[in-house]
Structure 1
Amino acid sequence: MLNFDRVVKSFGPKQVLNELSFAVRPGELYGFCGANGAGKTTAMRIALGVHDADSGVVTIDGRPIDADLRAQIGYMPEERGLYAKMRPIDQLVYLAKLSGVRADEASRRAAEWIERLGVVMSPKDPLEKLSLGNQQKVQLIAALMAEPRVLVLDEPFSGLDPVAVDAMADVLLEQARNGIPVLFSSHQLDLVDRLCDRIGIIRGGRIVAEGTVGELRAKVAGRLLQISLQGAEAGWPESVPGVRRVDDHDGLVSFELSDGTDPDDVLDAVRRLGRIEHFGWRNPSLSDIFREAVTA
Structure 2
Amino acid sequence: MPTLHIDHLNKSFGDNRALNDMTFSVNPGEIYGFVGSNGAGKSTTMRIALGVLSADSGQVRFDDTPMNDDIRRRIGYMPEERGLYGKEGIADQLTYFGRLHGMSGKSAHDSATSLLEQLGLGERAGDKLDDLSLGNQQRVQLAASLIHEPELLILDEPFSGLDPVAVEVMSRMLTERARQGVPVIFSSHQLDLVQRLSDRVGIVARGSMVTEGTVDELRMSGPVRFEVHTPARGWYPEGTQLVSETDHGVVLETADPANDQQILQAAIAAGPVHAFTRLIPDLTDLFREVIAA
TM range (shorter): 0.7 to 0.9
SS of the counterpart of 1:89?
Answer: helix
Q: What's the counterpart of residue 283 of structure 1?
A: 280
Q: CA deviation at 1:225?
A: 5.5
Contact 1:5 1:20 in 2 (8 A): yes
Contact 1:18 1:206 in 2 (8 A): yes
2:149 to 143, 147, 151: 147
d(CA) in 2 for partners of 1:87, 1:227: 60
Q: CA deviation at 1:80?
A: 0.9
Q: What's the counterpart of residue 200 of structure 1?
A: 202
2:114 to 112, 115, 135: 112
Contact 2:89 2:126 in 1 (8 A): yes
d(CA) in 1 for partners of 2:175, 2:145: 15
The runs of 5 or more residues in structure 1 that have no matched partner are 231-241, 265-275
Alignment of 1:269-280 (within 5 A): none
Contact 1:120 1:130 in 2 (8 A): no
d(CA) in 2 for partners of 1:58, 1:185: 18
d(CA) in 2 for partners of 1:99, 1:253: 61
Q: Deviations over 1:205-260 (max 9, x none)?
A: 111110001111121041x4658899xxxxxxxxxxx7778xx9xx989979699x
1:68 to 54, 70, 76: 70
SS of the counterpart of 1:220?
Answer: coil
Q: Deviations over 1:160-212 (max 9, x none)?
A: 12121111111111111111110001111111111111100001111111000
Q: What's the counterpart of residue 30 of structure 1?
A: 32
SS of the counterpart of 2:84?
Answer: coil
Q: Deviations over 1:244-286 (max 9, x none)?
A: 78xx9xx989979699xxx99xxxxxxxxxxx98775422111
Alpha-carbon spacing, 1:3–1:84, altered in 2? closer, same or farther (3 Å): same
d(CA) in 1 for partners of 2:49, 2:159: 21
Q: What's the counterpart of residue 295 of structure 1?
A: 292
Would you say 1:8 and 2:10 are equivalent positions?
yes
TM-score (norm 1): 0.83
Q: CA deviation at 1:129?
A: 1.1
1:157 to 156, 159, 169: 159
Count of matched residue positions in the alignment of Structure 1 and Structure 2: 280
Q: Deviations over 1:47-85 (max 9, x none)?
A: 011100000001111111111111111000111111111
Query: Is 276-285 or 8-17 further displaced after alignment?
Result: 276-285
d(CA) in 2 for partners of 1:44, 1:253: 46
Q: What's the counterpart of residue 234 of structure 2?
A: none
Contact 1:244 1:258 in 2 (8 A): no
Percent sequence identity is 50
Contact 1:157 1:186 in 2 (8 A): yes
d(CA) in 1 for partners of 2:143, 2:184: 15
SS of the counterpart of 1:172?
Answer: helix
TM-score (norm 2): 0.84
2:292 is matched by which residue type in structure 1? T
SS of the counterpart of 1:46?
Answer: helix
Q: CA deviation at 1:14?
A: 0.2
Q: Deviations over 1:6-49 (max 9, x none)?
A: 00011110001000000000110000010111000000000011
1:107 is matched by which residue type in structure 2? H
Alpha-carbon spacing, 1:208–1:123, altered in 2? closer, same or farther (3 Å): closer
Contact 1:30 1:200 in 2 (8 A): yes
d(CA) in 2 for partners of 1:122, 1:219: 47
Alpha-carbon spacing, 1:91–1:229, altered in 2? closer, same or farther (3 Å): farther
d(CA) in 1 for partners of 2:185, 2:243: 34
SS of the counterpart of 1:287?
Answer: helix
d(CA) in 1 for partners of 2:250, 2:146: 43
Alpha-carbon spacing, 1:181–1:252, altered in 2? closer, same or farther (3 Å): farther
